[in-house]
Structure 1
Amino acid sequence: MITGSVVVIINNLLSGNSFTSRKTLNPTKAKEANMSPIIQGRIWRFADNIDTDLIIPGKYLRTTDMSVFASHAMEGIDPEFSKKVTKNDIIVAGKNFGCGSSREQAPLALKHAGVGCVVAESFARIFFRNSINVGLPIIEAVVDCKHSDVASVDVEKGTVTCRGKTYQGVKLPGFLLTILLDGGLIQHRRKQKQ
């Protein structure tokens, strides 16, 4: 079921209205440039079973303002996360990342906070697909990276490199990779219409 706020977000994106955040590019400009398949950033390490209520608490879901989502990302675990995260930082988590309620705002909150990619041992399936749909890179992989390490993720190859070692994750199927590299499902559909 699509919530009212998500319908507004989708309608705004389709009409060309832009959302801005203090830490991210205007999505309209980002879609023109497409996403880079290589992401380098600092690691934020989290445990298993990080649910969508921890990613973006439900009390913030009545808005369509991406900067509100960004400023409360990961608030349920680290209230200072949104103040400390920088563009292209990488979340590395354990199993079942994004479990819980079906909340499209969860990957949007991470993306607009500046998170460049989420790497986890496994994802809740709906979070996985919502991430692709909003253009948030995700890789299923088991990696031995520590909090604050600097890592590089190759989205096309499904690899994560940190501490001098490269870990092979699950490569995205071609059609999902195309949607992701186009900036998400809406931007992908726009590109197909051109």
Structure 2
Amino acid sequence: MITGQAVCLGPDIDTDLIIAGRYLRTKDRSVWGAHVFEDLDPSLAGRLSGAIIVAGRNFGCGSSREQAPVALREAGVVAVISPLFARIFFRNAINVGLPVLEADLTCRDGDQIAINLNEGVIEVAETRYSFTPLSPRMRDILDAGGLVTYWRGKA
């Protein structure tokens, strides 16, 4: 079970809005987490620890930078929900151990959300939403904490 408070965003959040290119020259991932969404809302990074982002369609569009889902994890985001993700962002997120779920749900900032990955259910207040469950392999990758750790466990 994944739980957290909702942080609601609109549609078409691209990877440049998630983490601006000017911060990618550093290898210090904590810098990425501290500056996530800075060009969208400078105060947003401070509200993301333990949060579940609920966004509109087309989350993670734009460049294919893997740093975007890493920055979200570094900021403390525990999952992202959107009706539609850019495919490369979706896979990059799974590969770094960030759960991303395709579902269209209604919530407000601060709503408590509970996600059951195995059952494909999201609960917001008294309302239950279904999502297409992730494949067993994707759940295994998430359980391992990311693709690198997953493959190390297979060796």
TM-score with structure 2 setting the length:
0.96
CA distance in 2, matches of 1:110, 1:156: 23
Cα RMSD between the aligned structures? 1.0
Deviations 1:121-158 (A, max 9, x none): 11000000000000001110011111111111112222
> Percent identity at matched positions?
46
Query: How many residues are treated as equivalent by the alignment?
Result: 155
Residue pair 1:139, 1:158 contacting (<8 A) in 2 also: no
5+ residue gaps, structure 1 = 1-37
List aligned pairs for 1:41-52, cutoff 5 A. 41-52=4-15
Instruction: Name the structure 2 match of 1:72.
Output: 35
CA distance in 1, matches of 2:141, 2:59: 21
Q: CA deviation at 1:178?
A: 1.1
User: Which protein shows a greater Rg?
Assistant: 1
CA distance in 2, matches of 1:188, 1:69: 24
Q: Does 1:134 align with 2:96?
A: yes
Q: Secondary structure at the match of 1:139?
A: strand
CA distance in 1, matches of 2:108, 2:127: 13
TM-score with structure 1 setting the length:
0.77
Instruction: Name the structure 2 match of 1:59.
Output: 22
5+ residue gaps, structure 2 = none
Q: CA deviation at 1:50?
A: 0.3
Instruction: Name the structure 1 match of 2:135.
Output: 173
Q: Does 1:184 align with 2:121?
A: no
CA distance in 2, matches of 1:133, 1:162: 26
Instruction: Name the structure 2 match of 1:106.
Output: 68
Moved over 4 A (4+): none
